[in-house]
Structure 1
């Protein structure tokens, strides 16, 4: 069981960028419409770059070449239960906390995914 941090960081870079953009734009009190536009442009630019440049040179970063194993499924289950506890029982959820939870849980799930080779 190895943790593939390069793949996890690459596939979760858009959500990490979204978290950083959200925190910066809310600190500067920028309008919500502008925030949504910046997030859409960031995600579109990232996946266009990945599709055109990265996947051809580095097939080990392509998410089609991975499958979720037992550890990933356990992390998903525990993470979902923890999120529901925060949301329903403690009512401690806001956008920044949700994005942070999503980034961390997806990073861990993708890090423990198994490389199944080129298809």
Structure 2
């Protein structure tokens, strides 16, 4: 199951890169930063596959796999990857901001 999910992630990343290269409306908005984020995101999967199938030196690919995983974890708070985790917080905040205006507590002097 792990191999199937890993190959699915690698193939999906390939199609994301292909989409960014082929579609003009996406290509216009894509920067090198977006490609960097995609490489950082998929590197643990690729290095994990290389270590699993023992392509070349196993210990090298295992160390690269660990390094890429740590790099991904370090990059999450400082890149667009944080949106994966902050999505729920932003949805809750939007619910608090706009939920009261739809007939909640009326007459209060609260800003939200």
Q: What TM-score range do you get, normalising by the shorter chain?
A: 0.3 to 0.5
**TM-score (norm: length of structure 1):** 0.31
* Larger RCO, structure (CA 8 Å, separation 6 or more): 1
